[in-house]
Structures are given as C-alpha cells and as structure tokens.
Structure 1
Amino acid sequence: MATLNSFKDRRFMKMKFLTPILLLLIASNTALANNYNHFKKDPDKDKVILYVLKNILTKGHFVQKELNDDFSEHVYNDFINNLDPSKRYFTQEDLKEFSQYKYQIDDQLRNSRLDFYKLVYGRFLEKIKAAQLTYAALLQQPFNFKKKENINIDYKKVPFAKNENELVDNWRKQLKLQVVSLIQETEQRQNEELKKDPKIKRKSFAEMEVKAREKVKKNMNDLYIRIDELENSDWYSTFLNSVVSGFDPHTTYMSPRTKSRFDQDMSGKLEGIGARLQKEGIYTKIVELISGGPAWKQGELEPGDIILKVAQGEGEPLDIVGMRLDDAITFIKGKKGTEVRLTVKKKMDGSTKVIPIVRDIVELEETFVKSSIVEKNGKIYGVINLPKFYIDFDDAKQRNAAGDMKLEIERLKKENVEGLIVDLRDNGGGSLKTVIEIGGLFINEGPIVQVKYRGEPAIIKNDTDSNTHWNGPLVVMVNEMSASASEIFAAAMQDYGRGVIMGGKQTYGKGTVQNVLPLNYYVSKYPDDLGALKMTIQKFYRINGGSTQIEGVYSDIAMPDRYSYMEFGERDLDGALPWDSVKKASYNKINSYTNFNEVVTNSKERINADQKFISINEYAKWLKKGQDDNIYSLNYNSYRKDVEQRLEESKRFKDIFKYESNLTFTSPSYELPYFKTDTVLKQKRDRWHKGLQKDIYLNEALNVLSELKMDKKLELVKK
C-alpha cells in the first residue's frame, strides 16, 4: 500500500515492496542511530533535523539529486525569497554579504553546518524590528497623492532595494498603495450611499485618508503581532523547505505542529471541542461551531465569543490572552472524554462565563462524501460530491472515502437513480489506497493505476473486487484544481471508456506519490519530536502508460471557466518533475456506451453555441489580462480612473455566473431523519442544493448523463 500524501512509519516498514532504494533507507536508519552519540555531544536540534533529512532524501527520493553548486544556488534563492517575497527587508548590500555562501550551502549541508541560515535569519530578525519602526513612521502623516509614480507588485521581477534609503522608499510605495486602495473603496461606497440617500453627510478626502491610514496601521500591527509570535523553529522550517524543495515542489518538511494538522486533514476528524478559532489582536475568538461537535451539543459557546482562560477539568485556569493561536489550540484540544473549562467573554453582553465541555471525536463534515438526487426529463439521477480521498491510517475501523463512496452508491441505487455524476472539482487528492478501491466500484476488476519507484519497473495496482457496484451511466466532473488521486480516478474511467470526463481543459497535473516519514524513527533515542518529511517516492501512471504529471487528464468535454487562461497547475511550478511514460498495462476496455462520440459532440456544440459559456470564455481572457497587469498608479486620480475603468469593463461580466436551472435537488431519503435533530446540517445541505441548481456546469453534465445509452451487451474488447 501507498498513499499520494500520507503514510505512517510502521506501515511503511511492513510493506512488501522493499526495493533497493527503500532498503537503503532502512539501512540508513541503523547508520543514523549509530550516530546518535555524536548528537548527544552536540545536541543542536536544528543540526539533527538537517542531518536526518539529508540522508533520507539522497537515498530515498524518486529523483537522485546531486548536492552541488546548482542545488546550493536553489536553496540560496529560495530561502531569501521565502523570507522576503515582497522585497521589504533585504537590500542588495545584504545580498552581497549573503552571497559568500551562494555556492557553499551544499558543502554546509554535507557537514550539517548552518552558517548560511544563521547569517540570513539573524539579519532577518533585525530587519523585522526595523520594519516595525519604518511603517509606523511612514503612516504618521499623509502621502503625496498628487505625485505621479507607479508600483510594480510582481515582486519576482522587482530587484531588491540598493540600500536602506531605497528600502524605506519601497515601504512607502507599498503602504501608499494600501492607503490609496482603501480611500478609493470608501469613496465608491460613499457615492453609492449618496445615490440612495442624498442627505447623508459626505466625508472629505482628508477624513477618508486619515481613516485609511489608521486601518492600514492596524492591519500592519496585527500582522506583526503574528510575526512576533513565530519562533526559530518556524523560520527554520522555512529554510528546511528551501532545502527539500530542491528535489521537487511536493517534498516538504513538516514541523510537529504541521504534521498534526496534516494528519487531521487526511482523516477528516479531530479530538477536541469542535470549534474553529482565529486570532483577533491578542485574543482567541470562536469563529464557527462544527455541527454535531461537543461545543455545538453543549450549547453555551457561540461564534464571536472570546476565550480568555483554559483549564483542564478542575485544574488551575491558564490565561491564553496574548498566546499564539497554535499554542492556545493545543490547550483547548484534547483526548476524547476529557473535560476542558473555558473562561469566555460573551459576544452578546460582554459578560464572563466559565463553560465546561467534554471533548470528543469531531468529524469535519465538509471533508466527507455527500450526495443529492435530481429529476430530469422524468428520470432520477444521483450527484456524489467527493471533496477528498480521505482515510485514517491510525484506525482502519474509521470511515474512509472508499467505504463511504460504496455506501452512498448503494443508497442512491435504492432511490432508483438511472445515472451518476461523481463531482471531483477542487478535490486535491488523498489516499492512493482509497482511489484504487473507488475506481473498482465502477469496473469488474483490473488495473487502476501504475506506480514506479526510482530505477524500478512500474508496478500495476489492481482492483481485486470482482463486483461492479455501479454499472450505469457515469459522468466525472473535474477542473484545474482536481489533482493527484482525482486524476488517477478520472484517468482510469477515461482509459476504460467507463465514464465521460467533463470540466476544465485539463486537471492539475500532479503525478507523484508522497510518503510521510517521521524523523524520530531514524534517531529513535532523540528526546524531542523532530517532525516529519513528506517525500516524493513514486510517480504514478495511467493504465494506458502515460503519466498524469504535468499533463493532467484532458477532459472529453472541456467547458470554459475562470481558470481557462491562467497560469495554473503543476506545469507552472518550479522544479516540477517531467512527463514521461511506461509500458501500457493489460486491461479490457469497456464499451459502456453505444453513443459516446455522439453525446460528446452534442455537448460541445451546445457549449460552443451557449451565450453563457461564450461570455465565461471572454471573462477568462479578461481575468488573464488583469493577472498580467501588475503596474499600479500611486497618483490618486490616476488610480481611481484605472479602477473605474476596470469596474466599467467588469459590468459586462456582472451576471456571468447567474444561472437558474428548473431542477430541484434533494437529499436522499436516508438523510432526512437527521435534519430533525441537526438543523445546521440541514442548512448546509439546503445551501448546497441551491448551489447545484445554479451550477451551469452541473446542468450540462446532467444533459450529457441523460443522453448516454448503455450497451446492453457490455461487450469486453481486449485492449
């Protein structure tokens, strides 16, 4: 087994595919463990992490990468740009000093030295302190809004400031742009209000300008509160990711905190109170209660409430005012069955109240499969939305995408649906195991995907379940953000001729598999949590032999959308692995439909003739033009005219996505009893169904689904 994004170390060690590369990884574990005595003498955690990462990457990554001057230059540029993407901190004078290490970082990595990191990070901390004084001083007085000057916000193309004086001027321009933008927005709102009520007192430019500067200053203060909360480990993670990204853009270092969030995201659940929190100044605020969670059931906590203190059961309350959000969350979360007592300032009346909540497992409902039914031309169809290929590797008994998908199909069959849409739009992937099992729900048995390790022949991954759980008409919806596991499923359905793929021109193009390796496995005696490495260990290939890397999956029916002309996807990532191919797998193509080509042609003709889709295509071109225009005037009158011109241009697109079908979407009958006790779930489903009714893409997918005619013989032709 393997996953596209996640794998636990114990499962990793139990797998049968111990290729020479992975055997080297295991062997390196012994070598690393033997070096633990060295780390006991030099217990610098940063060096330990770097040493372990270097050994794992060079022995186990899909790409055999040489640590040379080119690699050193990548780390140099990437780290500096990640620390200072808007060119706010470093000058060319700083870079001149940093450049002594530009081609030495590879040598330092080999010797677990951190001279480059320490120099740049130390300077960065100095610059952060200076920046706080700089923006505060610049925002003390009005800018010259009559001066004719521009700013280029494509910072990748903007050089670093020559010296400190030019750096301050860069700050001035960036702050001025924020102020100019806020003044224009305020003036526009005011003009709209005056049209409705001419008696409203008009604010002067000076009044609007003062308010705009105050707002920008508050935003900057809030930003630097969050920056000041960050620790060395946070910035060091940035450096480590500059190192590991030299292998490919999907290889990343995860700190212990990041790893915890990753596991939660993959499983779709957490243990805690079931509330979404955000930082507001020095306070931790409740943003949303998760439907069905402990806080929602307890009933006293509300969105907008401020958490002041946290106590574990009857223990002493801990003041969390001013605490960084991640740290506050660690005290609020906890194991199922334990009690947390929150001292809360209520939003409604400002009173202070202690609210006890017993923690529990909280399922993040938006992660999971959901379905709807709709009637069209006298026939009932099912729509299944799959946001992620989720799985819980710690507990096989917990729900996963494959099991939920199978159950949802069976439920829809009881509703007598005659066709099925699987919506994978915006699905970024997940577990390889689950996508293989889900692919198997739509075929008898056979290969779903091929995976390949470095220097090894491709391995065919088969669906071994001989049952076909859905053998009716199938449409798979994708877009440019459908990635990884989504692309495997879409490619398999396309290669088998099992379903019609509809959506953007092509999917994201991520054709690599990552494995999550806890670093402490390799230095098991080290006392602190070292985090984990998410490393690319495989590429995957379609059963027809082609890779989805870079190319993605091309839709059978492409529909224009806002991303049609944008730079988007794997092909636009620096260092992305190239497209290639392997030998085609042996599989039987299913001649599912007697009129496949006719249906595809009909749909394309409808789309090309539909004024909505024509307008969406024009809108996409207009968005691309705007994306390429990165020069903004800082003269207020010129800025306002530019905005007004763009707003005028946008008017022809204001109703671009306004669409109403005459269709009614409802929940399957099994879900209806839940709505009596869970009104929040009902509200979410109602919103979703209204969205489906207004979804022009889904409407065309239903048109296609309604036209597909199954071949009753379902003849199997040897590919």
Structure 2
Amino acid sequence: MRRNRIYLVTLLIFAMVSCGFAKKSFDDPEKDKTLVDLISYVLGRWHFDPQDIDDDFSENVYNDFIEAVDPMKRYFLASDIEEFEVYKDKIDDEIKEPGVKFFNAVHTRLEKRMQQAKKFQDELLAMPFDFTIDETIDRDYEKMPFAENKEALKERWRKELKFSTLANYDIKLEIEQNKKKEDKAYTIKDAVVLEKEARESTEKTYIEFFDLMDDLERKDWFSIYVNTIVEEFDPHTSYLAPEDKDRFDMSMSGTLEGIGARLQKRTEGAKIFEVISGGPAWRSKKIEAGDIILKVAQEGEEPVDIVGMRLDDAVKLIKGPKGTKVTLTMKKVDGSIDVITIKRDLVEIEETYAKSAVVKKNDRTFGVINLPKFYVDFQDYNNRNAASDVKKEIERLKKEGMEGLVIDLRNNGGGSLKTVVDMAGFFIKDGPIVQVKSSIDGKEVLRDEDSRIQWDGPLVILVNELSASASEILAAALQDYKRAVVIGSKQTYGKGTVQNVVDLNRFIKGSDTNVGALKLTTQKFYRIDGGSTQLEGVKSDVVVVDKYSFIDIGEKDQENPLPWDRIDPAEYDVWDGYIGYEETIEKSKARMQNNAQLKLIEENAKWIRKRRDDNEYPLNYATYKKEADADEEYAKRFKALSDYDTKLVFVSLPYEELLMKKDSSLQRKRKAWHDDLAKDVYVEEAINVLSDIQINNIKKQKRAVVKG
C-alpha cells in the first residue's frame, strides 16, 4: 500500500492549502490580481524547489515576457522598451502585493503596435518588390536590437515581407517552368505577373496571421504573462487557463466528447481539416475534410453564426456532452449548403494510443509496440490507459508466436507515473521501479508487487532525445535491471521531475469564475540505482546518431531546469534471464559503427544544424536561387535515407485486420506506419539485437514452475 501514498500528493496539497486560508485571503475583486496572488502563494509553499521572488526574479520575468510577446522584434520600438524598463525590478513587488501594471503597460502598447504593423503590411504589399537589388535579411532575432524608430521598424517589415514573397516567387516560377517542360507550347508568365501573384500569396498568409492574432483576447495574453512567472521555477511548472486545462486532460486521456473533427480558423467559418476515424462525424458519412461550418445550433435552440468568431469559442459550441445533439450549417466542398445534425459521443484519438505490429525475420517472429505517450483517464484509472493497452498488445503478440519484443518510446514525452510503474512490472517478477522524492512526503520507492511476468523474453527499448519523463523511468528501470537493451540517442531528454495538476478554483470560495489550474512540480524521480534522470537522461546501451543529435532540445537546453543529483540506491536484483547480455550489446555497437545508413544520417544531421545556424539570407533572386540550387543539389545525397530498405515485412494483428476492413482510414494509417518501419534502421537493429539475445532457459523454466 505504500506506493499508493505518492498518488495522494495532490489531495494533500488541496488540504494543506485549504487549511492555510484562515491566514490568507484571495478575495481581491480584480481577477488578474487574485490569480497572481493565488499562484505565487501555492508555488511558494508546494513547489519542489521554491524560488526567491526578488529583483533578479523580476528581471528574468521582465525579459521572458517581452521575448514571449515580441520574439521577432517586429512590434516594439527601442523607446517602448525604455518605458517598460522602469518595471524591470518591480515585478517581484507586484507579485507580493498583487498588481498588474507591468502587464497592462506591455499589453496596451502591443495592441497599438500590432495595428501599426498591419498598416505597414498594407502599404508595403501594395508596391512591387525589386528582386534585382543586392541586399540581405538578418533573421538572428535573439541578437537583433529593437528598432530605433518607426522608419527602421517599417524597413524591418519590408525585408520580412520581401523574403516571404521571394520564396513564393521561386515556387511559382518553378511551377511555370515545369508546365513548360510538359507542354512546349505553354507560355511562361512573365516576372511582373509572378511577382504580383507571389505578393498576393504573402498578403493572404499575413491576413490569416493577423486574423489569428486578433482572436487573442486580453485573458490570452495574461495567461502568457502568468506563465513567464511560473516558468521561472522550472520549465515544467505552468499555468493552465480553463481552455488549456481541457486540452491537457484530453491529451492525457486521448479522448474528448464532441463530433470528432479537427478545425482550422478561416475567415468564412471553421474549416474541417480532419475527420477523426471512428467518431460521430466519421460515422455520419456526411462530413468531410474541407467542409466549412457556418452556423451551430444546440438541440431545440436557434443557430449561432460562427463566421468571424474566435475558433476557441466556435469549438465550445460544437463540442458537448456525450448523447446530446448539435446541428451544423455547412458549406460543403462542392459549394452546396447542407444542414447536418450529429449526436455527440466519446471520441478516441487513435494516434494517442499504443499500436503494435508483427515482423518476420527469416523464420523467426518478433513484435513491435509503439507507445506515443503514457496516457490515462485522471477521473477513472480503470478506463483505457497505456499500461492496460500495452498488456493487451503483448498478449496478442504472444499468440502470434512472438520471440522478442521492441518497445518504441521515441518522441514519447511521458505522461502518467502510475502507468509506467505498472508497465515496468510486466517485464520483471517484482521489485522497485522508480524512487520519488517529494517536497512534502520525503522519499518513496514505487514498486512492482505483482509476481506475474507478462513477457520474459528478449526485450529492446528504442529511445531518442525526445523520450522524456515516464519514458525515461521505464528505460532506466529496465536498463538497471539489465532486463532490456536500450538503443537510441546519446541520452534521452532529461526530465526527471513529476508534476501534479492543482485546480485553483478549489481555493476561491463563492465565485463562479473559472481561474484554471496550475501544473506544479512537486517531486523528482530517481533511478533505482540512485541517480536522477534530471538533465542527464538515460544513456543508451547502444548509441546511434539521429536527426536530433546536433540540435539543442533537451532539458539541459531549457531555462531554469532543476539540477541533477543522486540519492541512495534501492535494493534490487539484476535480471538473470539472459546469457551473454554484454556481448550482445558489443555486437550491436560494432554493427552500428560500420552502418552506412547511420553515417549518412549523421552527415544529414550536421548539415541541418549548419543550415539552422545560418541566419542571413539574400533578397536578390539570382543569389537566392544560386544558393537554393546548391542546397538542393547537396540534399540529393540524402535521398538514399528514404530509399533505405530493411527487407523486413510488418503486418497488423488479426483483430486490427478485421477493424481495417470497416475503416479505410485506419488501414491507410497502418500502411504508412508499416512502410516507415520497413525503412527504419533503428528498428532493424532492434530486431538484430533481439535475434542475438540468448535466454537462460534454466532460469526461465524455474520461473515457469513458480508461475504454474
């Protein structure tokens, strides 16, 4: 029962905060001040590593907020920044004695400057650009100073718009030249016409951009401001505005209640860009990608026109509880108008969930399970979750004669702590999985106490630089037990902290206003060998280069990360089910060292990094084209990456084959996944390692007797 204590931390926080309210009141009538006061109170008492809110803290918030609202330095003038600087050492005072003068000053000026930018855009795009002039644009915004005056700012906008138009011009000219190749009689449009069309494309893009910016209300900007405050504590503590909290819950559970469609904001309404397979819209067979929703009516009510409405507000009207009906007035792809009534339902976002495939190599059968995240329903753990789904997939793969298993955790950013503890237990008899140190409850060892083993055969874990949090717990535990061979990047992401989501509304009595939630770092986790995964991540047994190898994307590259440290190791016994475990790793390293595909991937990764570091671009078309052609020619050498063929064949499990007969969308998705796997050098090596691993059959027989 001890492991359950750690899952009660959130409730403990609620109780402690509630008890403290006798001494602290949050009844300021101004919501913004109340929110800042409440968040600073909670952070100061229950964050794992509370920060001193002083002048240094104030300056960091100041710099981060200015960068957050104007990262490309195309709104504010140097004189604006000079005015704002009076607040540089006063934000800490505004947090302690709630005030929002700094935010108000920046927000008011930002809205003014955005209107000015719109005028710049209108004026600059009304006149043709001259692509024969020798000039360049510097896009290193971090080092760029703020413009000294409006003329300098307008010149900055001119170059940005010209750069966008130049890229559009190049694309349009290439299309024309291809038409000429196909039809010798075709007359290519002249440069004047193409430039005008390119400018119009740029104008459309920026109209849509400013339309989206206009949708942002004061509360949206204030949410950004609050996050610059809380992120000073660590990169994973964040404020969730009410809509963000809903999206967070949806992403963690992989489900939503609605019609099952993804929408884009368009001037003429809300455009459907994807119908989610299996959802109500998909089942109706009346809605397709490209349709535009014009009006929304709740059951028994008059329709509401959503043209020009904020996308978030339109989505609120369209979503709703399972079983209720919504009527949509839609402009179909063919231009016709149709009125469609749909009964809302629970929609599962299929790409969130675990999926598996069977792969044959020679006369042997292996399994691959891809896990995008450690998902869970916070309201009911017994609903669909990552651990229960992986358990089902293992059983299905075993029925197909699986002799070895690959668990693919690449790009898996983590999720539920409980699901990863349960999942790790599938591969060991029992024992500690992870150690958690809490700011409230001290150190806790989370254990697998179930002696049953779901899979006792060869196991490989695939990771990369974006495998984080719960992914690192699973990889670290199975590595420490020597239960699995970890193949992937030099190290994983390095997120060794645990967050709890605190509903801030619980702390404000007698208010109908929803103030959102705080995702709060309250714990750090440690490997069973005592080392933290914070910053250092998990170092792969077999290190392979990938496209992220030379890009700064890990925890160590974020602002304000918590430090690495070590605690006492837990007591555990190394897995004794393999023979020649170390030899298998050495054989894999030797193969990878001489792999031509990996050498090409490394060359490509270095080239990508070099291009990312180049921030100066020509605005002369002849120079632009020369450089683009040189890049394109060099890039041809990397075409072989997508042509790689492992000669492995991947197929779906029988239950999925039946589903795909009814769902062509699922069939397309699985085919695309299988095609990618067949070109994946990392999966290929994982299968090679599974082939090399030798099982200690004497130990396996003893375990079988125990299980029997």
Task: Establish whether TM, by shorter chain, passes 0.5.
Answer: yes
Quick one: distance in 2 between partners of 1:296 and 1:573? 40
CA distance, structure 1, for counterparts of residue 244 and residue 552 of structure 2: 28
Q: Following the alignment from structure 1 to structure 2, what is the Cα–Cα distance between the partners of residues 679 and 601? A: 43
Q: What code does the residue aligned with 2:101 have?
A: D
* Alpha-carbon distance between aligned partners in 2 of 1:668 and 1:497, rounded to the nearest angstrom: 29
Q: Distance in 2 between matches of 1:687 and 1:625?
A: 30
Match for residue 28 of structure 1? Answer: 20
Query: How far 1:446 moved relative to its partner?
Result: 0.8
Tell me if 1:670 matches 2:655.
yes
Question: In the alignment, residue 399 of structure 1 is paired with which amino acid?
Answer: R
Superposed displacement of residue 254, structure 1:
0.8
Give the letter aligned to residue 426 of structure 1. N
State the secondary structure of the residue aligned to 1:654.
Answer: helix
Equivalences, count:
699
Preserved contact between residue 2 and residue 515 of structure 1 (Cα < 8 Å): no
Aligned match of 2:611: 626
Task: Name which of structure 1's ranges 198-207 and 518-527 shifts more when overlaid on structure 2.
Answer: 198-207
Give the match for residue 291 of structure 1: 277
Aligned to 1:86: 72
Contact 2:299 2:324 in 1 (8 A): yes
- The equivalent residue for 2:706 is none
What pairs with 1:425-440 in structure 2 (closer than 5 Å)?
425-440=410-425
Q: Structure 2: which 5+ residue stretches go unaligned?
A: 703-708
The 1-side partners of 2:654 and 2:2 are apart by: 36
Match of 2:436, SS state, is strand
Structure 2 residue corresponding to 1:161, chosen from 129, 140, 147: 147
Partner of 1:585: 570
Query: Judging changes above 3 Å, is the alpha-carbon distance between structure 1 residues 50 and 162 closer, same or farther for their aligned structure 2 residues?
Result: same
Give the drift of 1:101. 0.7
Q: Match of 2:246?
A: 260
2:46 to 44, 48, 60: 60
Letter in 2 for 1:469: Q
Q: Hey, what's the Cα distance between the residues in 1 that align with 2:22 and 2:542? A: 53
Deviation for aligned residue 1:23: 6.9
Of 319-328 and 195-204, deviating more is 195-204
Instruction: Find the counterpart in structure 2 of residue 375 from structure 1.
Output: 360
Identity of counterpart residues, as a percentage? 47
The one of 201, 207, 217 equivalent to 2:193 is 207
**Given the alignment, which residue of 545, 548, 559 partners 2:533?**
548
Larger RCO (alpha carbons 8 Å, 6+ apart) = 1
CA distance in 1, matches of 2:78, 2:625: 34
Q: Determine whether 1:690 maps to 2:675.
A: yes
Shift of 1:262: 0.6
Residue pairs, 1:528-547, within 5 angstroms: 528-547=513-532
- 1:462 and 2:454 matched: no
Q: Distance in 1 between matches of 2:310 and 2:212?
A: 7
Tell me by how many angstroms 1:147 deviates.
Answer: 2.8
1:188 aligns with 2:138: no
> Is 1:344 aligned with 2:330?
yes
Alpha-carbon displacement from aligned partner over 1:486-531 (angstroms, at most 9, x marks no partner): 0110011100000010122211111111111111111132220001
AA paired with 1:527?
A: D
Change (3 A) 1:693 1:251: same
Write the distance in 1 (CA, Å) between the matches of 2:263 and 2:185.
41
User: Which whole-Å deviations, capped at 9, do the CAs of 1:165-193 have from their partners, x for residues lacking one?
Assistant: 21111111111111112112222333344
Other-structure match for 1:132: 118
* 1:341-372 deviation per Cα after TM superposition (whole angstroms, max 9, x unaligned): 11111112x11111111111111111111111
Matched, 1:448 2:440: no
Q: Which blocks of at least 5 consecutive residues in structure 1 are unaligned? A: none
Separation in 2 of the partners of 1:458 and 1:713?
A: 37
Question: Does the Cα contact within 8 Å between 2:493 and 2:553 map onto a contact in 1?
Answer: yes
Q: Quote how far apart the aligned CAs of 1:392 are.
A: 0.3
Q: Would you say the 8 A contact 1:92–1:163 is kept in 2?
A: yes
Matched, 1:506 2:491: yes
Against the structure 1 CA distance between its residues 658 and 434, is the aligned structure 2 distance closer, same or farther, given a 3 Å change threshold? same
Task: Give the 5 Å matches for 1:139-154.
Answer: 139-154=125-140
**2:531 is paired with a residue of what secondary structure?**
coil
Q: How many angstroms does 1:683 deviate by?
A: 2.5
Matches within 5 A, 1:488-527: 488-527=473-512
Q: Is the 8 A contact 1:392 1:400 kept in 2?
A: yes
Amino acid at match of 2:371: L
CA contact 1:254–1:531 (8 Å) conserved in 2: yes
Q: CA deviation at 1:395?
A: 2.3
| Counterpart amino acid of residue 67 in structure 2 | N
SS at match of 2:271: strand
How far apart, CA to CA, are the structure 2 residues paired with 1:27 and 1:637? 70
Q: Secondary structure at the match of 1:451?
A: strand
Q: Deviations over 1:75-119 (max 9, x none)?
A: 100111100001011111111110011001101111101111111
Q: In structure 1, what is the Cα distance between the partners aligned to 2:365 and 2:237?
A: 44
Structure 1 residues 438-480: Cα deviation after superposition (integer angstroms, max 9, x where no partner): 0111011111111112386432111111111110000011111
Over 3 Å counting, the alpha-carbon distance change for 1:96 and 1:13 in structure 2 is: closer
Return the letter of the residue paired with 1:652.
R
| Aligned counterpart for 2:644 among listed residues 635, 638, 659 | 659
Residues 264 and 271, structure 2, Cα contact 8 Å, conserved in 1: yes
For the pair 1:416 / 2:416, whether they are aligned, the reply is no
Query: CA offsets per residue over residues 251-304 of structure 1, 9 Å max, x none?
Result: 111110010011011110011111111112242011111111111111111111
1:324 and 2:316 correspond: no
Secondary structure of residue in 1 paired with 2:383 = coil
* Alpha-carbon contact 1:179-1:216 (below 8 Å) kept: yes
Q: Which of the residues 216, 221, 225 maps onto 2:202?
A: 216
- Contact persistence 1:244–1:252 (CA under 8 A): yes
Task: Report how far residue 12 of structure 1 moved.
Answer: 4.8
Give the AA of the match of 2:524: K
* 1:468 counterpart letter in structure 2: I
Q: Which amino acid aligns with 1:590?
A: W
Whether 1:279 and 2:265 are equivalent positions in the alignment is: yes
